Structure 1
Amino acid sequence: MLVSEIAKRSSLLGALLASVPLVSVLAMVWLYLETRDAERIAAFAQDVFWLVLPSLALFLVLPWLLRAGVQFFVALGLGLVLAALAYAGTPGPAAALRRALAKTRPLAGAGVFWLRGQDSNLRPIG
């Protein structure tokens, strides 16, 4: 909400605040405090980097569609579909993500997943 209020006054400043990888930074700090495992954090940061790239498809197509007169939610939906296709078409990260998801089991009623295998860099924290 703060970002949208700032973007009303300055789209550049709002975009700057929105682009800060707050969730990733918080995850790395939390992961470090709980594990002190620099290699795990390095692997996490590298995985985030490669998975950010396909998400950029949304930010490329959304302005173009909006300027072409496409209604906002339609343009957003198309941008999200394109980003999902970009994720699916990214060979290394997509394959790793599919492998990781194949090893997950949903927690009852929690709506989150935890990893069972020992061969993955992605493990539950704690």
Structure 2
Amino acid sequence: MFLTLLNEGQSVLFARAARLMIEADDIAHERELAMLEAIGIETGLTELPDGGTFAEVVQEAADALTDPTQRNAFLIELAGVAVIDGDEHGAERALLQQLADQLGLGERVDEFLAFAHDARDLADRGRALVTTVEAD
């Protein structure tokens, strides 16, 4: 949704952060894997990079995300990764908080997560509407 606001290097960084977020709870749900695929499509990345370490991603994000709009977009999208499976795991929230703190947006984590929950719920409702076949 907002990944188009990021440049190519920031998109690669986001893909790395998303992969680490998905791995944070040691369970890769089907919806999380589908989201990784969608991230690749939206960012135009033909191959998603390995995550590396979260400490590396946090430092690189602080250096690469200098524009406030890009910082917000990065965190909103990463919050979406944290909630996509319906289970906002404590490890995922901790990673999001750590990154948000580094970017100077730590006080907005609840706001980003609330938006991500709303967006996930709306997408679920949309899928239900699209796949419902009415009987004559």
TM norm structure 1: 0.28
Which structure has the larger Rg? 1
Which has the bigger relative contact order, CA under 8 A and spacing at least 6? 2
- Larger % of strand: which? 1
TM norm structure 2: 0.27
